[in-house]
Amino acid sequence: MITALSSAYVKTARAKGVKSRNIIFVHALRNAMLPVITVIGDQAAALLNGAVVIETIFGFPGVGKLMIDSILQRDFNVVLAAIMVTAIAIFLMNLLIDMA
């Protein structure tokens, strides 16, 4: 946020006489939130991948437990489908983050 407040477009807005509140929320905060949103998306993908471990340990039904059970039973088609569902979910999450 400090870097965004010291950028040229904020200085230009101040020179035009824009209110301090508008400068912070419209100009600076919008550009300062980009790295935060990216990190949140990466953490959400890690959370989705960590669900495999949680579902296996606690016995919750889900894609992660299905994947582990299929690996143990050597049902490779189900393993591939579970990996595909997880990959599509992560892809869509990254797409939504990039659009935001």
Give tens-digit pLDDT for 78-91: 999 988 988 898 89
User: Crossing angle, helix 76-99 and helix 63-72, to 10 degrees?
Assistant: 150
**Any idea how long the chain is?**
100
Residue 64 pLDDT grade (very low, low, confident, very high; cuts 50, 70, 90): confident
Share of the chain above pLDDT 70, in %: 100
What is the chain's mean pLDDT, rounded? 86
- The reported pTM is 0.65
Decide if 48 contacts 37 (C-beta within 8 A): no
Count of domains forming the chain: 1
* Residue 37, domain extent: 2-99
CB-count burial class (<10 Å; 0-12, 13-18, 19+) for 23: buried
**What whole-number distance in Å separates Cα of residue 42 and Cα of residue 25?**
25
Residue 74 pLDDT more than 90?
yes
